[in-house]
Chains A and B, each alone.
Chain A
Amino acid sequence: MLNNGCKRGRYAEGELLKVDLNCCSCSVCEFIMSDIDTKEKLTLEDDGSEFEVAVGKQQQQEHKQQQELRMNRKSKNGEVKERKYSLWNFWLSSLCLKLLLFPDYYSTDFDVHRNWMAITNALPISKWYFENTSQWTLDYPPFFAYFEWFLSQFVPKIVRDDGCLDIVEVGQFGWPTVVFQRLTVIISEICLFAVLQYYINTSNLNERTQSFVVASSIVLSPGFLIVDHIHFQYNAFLFSILIASIVAAKQKKYIACAVFYTIALCFKHIFLYLAPCYFVFLLRAYVLNFKDFKFKSYKDLIFIVQWRRLLKLGSIVLGIFGICFAPFIFQMPQVLSRLFPFSRGLTHAYWAPNFWAIYSFLDKILAVVMLKFPYVHRFISKFISSPLIPSSIAEIKLRMEENNNGSKGLVEDVFFVILPQIQPKLTFLLTLFYQILAVIPVLFNPSFKRFIGSLTLCGLASYLFGWHVHEKAILLVIIPFSFLVVCDRRLLSSFMLVASAGYVSLFPLLYENQDFLVKSLYTFVWCIVYFFAFRKTTQYSTSIQRRIFFLDRLAMIYISSLLVMVWSIETLDLLKINHQFLARFEFLGLMTYSVYCSVGIISSWIGLSWLYNFDEPLWLS
């Protein structure tokens, strides 16, 4: 009970101070206690040095009780006072920033969405998926088209006169349209705040702090800021539906979970990435029942399935699809060809940081090396025969020439000089393989943690191995992962890797220099605040000895050098106007971005997969 030193406000002064963790009686200690993470015994000094001591189990329990006490602190009149966690302030402050970003750069996606609004507003529903005046044809599922139609109903006259609702080849619009469309993003984003506020309010008292950190990290995510409010899309709104289904899954409301997921899918088909996980989870948790299962004959297998539930679930899901696609029932081939354009190439002009980015990078490196040093080719040819690599140096040159001459940019297909070409089938198989690996554990243990874990891994698998993956798809990984990471501190390294690398990989979306400071500073401060907050709120792993500190350090080094990478690429980019020789390396900057980020994302995937598949204490609930 060392209380001599706990003078409120004085601990900042530099006095050494010891707080007794069990002291609840003294108000001063209580004041300080309320601030200090109870699971750490701290010896505090002004310079911020601290010692963490893992405390014993019994003590831990005491702390837990104490924490709960703290949560339900009684106010003076004896009522139980709940801690309030509100996203209101976050909404207002981010609103200010988003309003200031109005005059900023917007991508062609802005015109895309404007065009869709015009199409849905002016044309009868039967022509929506046929209209092709502009090259930005409608290629989202019908719910999104309905959403655009809904938005178009609110277009005021001044915006209409501005050319917002004209079906033209290239949009002719000005400031009013920008304001209107940006406002629709901001207003539709309120859904995200509402869903997450609901998530906070319904979570258990003892994990409310964690839920609050998760929720606020999502609403302030630099991904949404960059992609929605600068680049221009409606991701925050769409993700709010996905998050609603995650929250429903947490509360074991399986029907709601299915409904929300189906709706999300009918808004944007990118959520198909997560479909296997949802399918298996709902099947196992809701439809199948292994409780009283005793195998006597094959006939018993029939009783595993709860047919009534299956029927209910199936009819609801199919019903939603029906509502979505019914008006287009006779145009399904056209709609599907719009939704799944397989004519696109393996990667973008800017490689999304996935496995194929490294593959392409390897190919470039090998091509250069083999041309410079022919004996490398000779040496390798001894082991690998001709169809897998080019048979001679002459063929390499030929292929490179073809690659350069072939009207680049028009043909979006990627052509590898040395390594074997990649077929869509292969990417599909790889994705499916890793997704199946991710969903098998859910089949055995359909807990919420497992579900979220497999959701994240499904997202990662399709991001890493998918065909023509967009860098924006990383949100599909980071958002579910945020819900998982608070469960155990060992997941934190993996999360930090994927979040930092993923958000940094979005930077090339905003290629203009004027956005550089905004995007990099915002991402930087988000990473600092939330990595810090997650570190403070995540639960200590029950098996602390299994943390691999070396890898944690390595991850930190990787993350901090992201900053160096971003700044040096920007510097090179700035210098290239005056120093022409730097212009040759323009592609190098983008390549560095995607290769470096893909290293982080792949290692995060490996780390998470390891914990997911081989670490049992983590998944016990």
Chain B
Amino acid sequence: MASKKKISRINKPVEESFFASPLYDFLSPFRPVSNQWLTEYIIVIFALIVRCAIGLGSYSGMGNPPMFGDFEAQRHWMEITQHLPISKWYFFDLEYWGLDYPPLTAYHSYVLGVIGSFLNKSWFALNDSRGYESENNDLKTYMRTTVIISEIIFYIPGVIYFTKWVGRHRQQSLIGQYIAAAAILFQPSLMLIDHGHFQYNSVMLGLTVYAINNLLDEFYAPAAMCFVLSICFKQMALYYAPIFFGYLLGRSLFSRKFFNISRFLSIAISTVFAFFSMYAPLYVFGGGLRNVIQSVHRIFPFARGLFEDKVANFWCVTNIFIKYKILYTQKELQLYSLIATVVGFLPAVVTILFYPKKHLLPYALAACSMSFYLFSFQVHEKTILVPLLPITLLYTSTDWNVLSFVSWVNNVGLFTLWPLLKKDGLTLQYGVCFFLSNWLIGNFSFITPKFLPKMLTPGPPVQNTEDTYHRRSLLPHNILWKIIIVSSYIVMLLIHLGEIFVSPPPEYPDIWVLMNCCLGFGCFVLFWLWNYYKIFTLANKTLQYL
């Protein structure tokens, strides 16, 4: 502890990162010390207001019988978990949205379902409530509210704590920390998928952030437990697992003494205990091992194909040229994708194992989960949220290059979600969120001095800037990267325009979606490579260089 303090004294405070962005303009009245405590609450409330407003739009499968969409799936699980004994949860009518998430999702659904039934029984009546849509949107409102409350409990405090922790240890100004928090909370993809499309990803991601926070504070056993809970909410959290494994193992192996056996044991025991307690109800009340096996079977659907919808990963994009499904059998494909994924994430795991450093965590998590997204089996387009979480957490960095890449990948990620959001009828919300998230962190600030008369050029003057101060948008310093990023934005724009004005040729009805995937894949790969470069260059450095 003492040595750390010394280091932080030596290091200079980092510079303001989102200098003169609209977020800075909004939050600068709160710069005085006596006002600062208010800031985080205000940010959170505004984030919630935007989420509520997005929630007013439609959701996946709205008014689209007979199967509806993810909204109906979640509602259905609330219905079956509260009406059926635990032994039938994973067996009941699998054709109609059978439960295919781990037990914590089921418990979560159970609690929400019971509360919902207390408000209105018809929302979750067994079998009768399928496809329930009320005139006055009450069910929708309830479900939306549960997402918001889950996010308030699981995601938002985690993010705020993370930004504060990083800011504190890097001597960042408070206003800078809050801006980072706001930038993370206004991440468009998560807002649109959770509150527009309808899912509870924020719970899984939030539990992972809790785990990361615990790692930062060096509470290893709680970190392992939080992470297990995250996996038990959605198996997608497994994308992070190799890094958590590597980091925890590295911390146990290479701490002050060579092998910290007590730490290792506590981590192992807490992991096993967490898993055990999650599955115990299934085993005890649910008819033994059979139910547990069924749940695992449901969670990992290896019977499904290499990919389902169009997704911006390796398999889907190269499938344009190589028809994998014809050339290889399912088993072979599983093996190949496994090999590719392992090759993809192994360098990150090895690095984190030998350099278990805090500032490497977000980069390593990003590299690993991105490898899964790009190369693994059965990936959904929504899964991009998993790599986007650690990437977005890097908004706490103050390195202009890092911020630029984070903002870029967030935009690309949102762009790859476009076909899904369009299907859900969330066009307006997509456009607004795209604009809002970029504008808030200052990506459009370069426009304002050119267009606006001087009196309208926003913002309280930052004292130590000139009138001619150039508001930069987030682009890396390197000219090559600049060209790549700007041209990717231009291509995005062209694809959107093309989709509006040019109808696709009849032999390629999915041409715009495929182009979307190709662009997304290209950008993700580039980012993934840059991310690896960062990992290798940062391995020997400290938190100041986050």
Q: Which residues of A contact B (CB under 8 A)?
A: 8-12, 30-31, 34-37, 42, 44, 46, 48, 50, 73, 75-77, 79, 81, 83-89, 92-93, 96-97, 99-104, 197, 201, 512-514, 516-518, 521-522, 524-525, 528-529, 532-533, 536, 574-575, 577-578
Is the Cβ of B145 less than 8 Å from the Cβ of A512?
no
Q: Complex Cα distance A26/B264, Å?
A: 53
How long is the Cα–Cα vector from A500 to B122 in the complex, in angstroms?
Answer: 37
Could you list some 29 contacts between A and B, CB below 8 A? A10-B171, A11-B33, A36-B32, A37-B32, A48-B36, A73-B463, A76-B466, A79-B467, A81-B461, A86-B456, A92-B439, A99-B428, A100-B54, A100-B56, A100-B432, A103-B428, A104-B53, A197-B456, A513-B137, A514-B140, A516-B141, A517-B49, A521-B48, A521-B52, A532-B35, A532-B38, A533-B29, A575-B118, A578-B119
Q: Is B286 an interface residue (CB 8 A)?
A: no
Bound Cα distance from A320 to B164, whole angstroms: 59
Q: Are B38 and A528 in contact (CB under 8 A)?
A: yes
Interface band, chain B:
35 or more
Q: Which residues of A contact B117 (CB under 8 A)?
A: 578
B454 close to chain A: CB less than 8 A: yes
Answer whether residue B497 sits at the interface, using C-beta atoms and an 8 A cutoff: no
Q: A86 and B458: CB pair below 8 A?
A: yes
Contact A100 B428 (CB under 8 A): yes
Cα–Cα distance between A100 and B46 once the two chains are bound (Å): 13
Q: Give every chain B residue within 8 A of A42 (Cβ-Cβ).
A: 33-34
Decide: A83 and B53 in contact? CB cutoff 8 A.
no
B34 engages A50 (CB within 8 Å)? yes
Asked whether B25 is an interface residue with its Cβ less than 8 Å from the other chain, the reply is yes
Which chain B residues lie closer than 8 Å to A529 at the CB level?
A: 42
Verify if B174 is at the interface (C-beta below 8 Å from A): yes
Q: Which residues of B contact A (CB under 8 A)?
A: 13, 22, 25-26, 29, 31-38, 41-42, 45-46, 48-50, 52-58, 117-121, 136-138, 140-141, 144-145, 148, 171-174, 428-429, 432, 435-436, 439-440, 448, 452, 454-461, 463, 466-467
The residues of A that contact B29 with a CB separation of less than 8 Å are 533
Report chain B residues within 8 Å CB of A96.
Answer: 50, 432, 435-436, 439
Whether A84 pairs with B455 at a CB distance below 8 angstroms is: yes
Which single residue of chain A is at the shortest CB-CB distance from B33? A44
| Chain B residues in 8 Å Cβ range of A100 | 50, 53-54, 56-57, 428-429, 432
The complex places the Cα of A31 from the Cα of B32 at a distance, in Å, of 10
Contact residues in A for B57 (Cβ distance below 8 Å): 100, 103
A-B CB contacts (within 8 Å), total count:
158
- Tell me if B31 and A101 are in contact (CB < 8 A): no
Chain B's nearest CB lies how many Å from the CB of A182? 11
Tell whether A525 pairs with B49 under 8 Å between CB atoms, given A86-B457, A100-B429.
yes
Q: Could you tell me the distance in whole angstroms from the C-beta of A175 to the nearest C-beta in chain B? A: 10
Contact A525 B42 (CB under 8 A): yes
Report A71 CB to chain B, min CB distance, Å: 10
CB atoms of A97 and B49 under 8 A apart: yes
* Residue contact A44 to B34, C-beta cutoff 8 Å: yes
Chain A residue with minimal CB distance to B45?
A: A525
B459 close to A35 (CB less than 8 A): no
A322 to B181, CA, bound (A): 57
Residues of B within 8 A of A528 (CB): 38, 41-42
Query: Would A197 and B42 count as touching, CB distance under 8 A?
Result: no
Residues of chain A within 8 A of B436, CB atoms compared: 93, 96
Is there contact, CB below 8 Å, between B46 and A525? Answer: yes
B141 contacts A513, C-beta separation under 8 Å? yes
A514 CB contact (under 8 Å) in B56, B174, B454: B56
Given A50-B34, A513-B141, 18 other A-B residues pairs in contact with their CB atoms under 8 A: A9-B171, A9-B172, A12-B174, A37-B32, A76-B466, A81-B467, A86-B455, A93-B26, A100-B428, A101-B53, A104-B56, A201-B455, A513-B136, A514-B137, A514-B141, A521-B52, A528-B42, A575-B118
Given the known A-B contacts A102-B428, A201-B455, A577-B120, are A517 and B145 also in contact in the complex, defined by CB atoms under 8 Å?
yes
Q: How far is B148's CA from A517's CA once the two chains are assembled, in angstroms?
A: 10
Contact A517 B52 (CB under 8 A): yes
Task: Give the distance to chain B from A216, nearest Cβ to Cβ, in Å.
Answer: 10
The answer to whether A524 touches B56, judged by C-beta atoms less than 8 angstroms apart, is no
In the complex formed, the residue of B with least CB distance to A47 is B37
Q: How far is the CA of A31 from the CA of B109 in the complex (A)?
A: 51
- Inter-chain CA distance A34–B41, complex, in Å, is 24
Q: B435: which A residues are within 8 A, CB to CB? A: 96
| Distance in Å: Cβ of A263 to nearest Cβ of chain B | 25
* Given A525-B42, A533-B29, A578-B118, also A97-B53 (CB < 8 A): yes
- With A35-B31, A48-B36 known to touch, is A89 a contact of B120 (CB < 8 Å)? no
B458 and A513 contact, CB distance less than 8 A: no
Residues of B within 8 A of A75 (CB): 466-467
Does the CB pair A12–B457 fall under 8 Å?
A: no
* Neighbour of A101 across the interface among B56, B119, B452, CB < 8 A: B56
Bound together, the chains give a CA A101 to CA B37 distance in angstroms of: 30
B425 and chain A: residue at smallest CB distance: A103
Given A514-B140, A517-B48, A575-B119 in contact, is the A103-B58 Cβ separation under 8 Å?
Answer: yes
Q: B26, B34, B172 — which one has the most chain A CB atoms within 10 A of its CB?
A: B34
User: Which residues from chain A contact B45 at a C-beta distance below 8 Å?
Assistant: 521, 524-525
Q: A75-B467, A513-B137, A574-B119 are in contact. Are A12 and B33 (CB under 8 A)?
A: yes
Cα distance, A9 to B168, chains bound together (Å): 10
Q: How far is the CA of A44 from the CA of B33 in the complex (A)?
A: 7
Q: Which residues from A are CB-within-8-Å of B174?
A: 12
A12–B48 Cα distance when bound, in Å, is: 26
Give every chain A residue within 8 A of B432 (Cβ-Cβ).
Answer: 96, 99-100
B461 CB contacts on chain A under 8 angstroms: 81, 83-84
Cβ contact within 8 Å between B456 and A88: yes
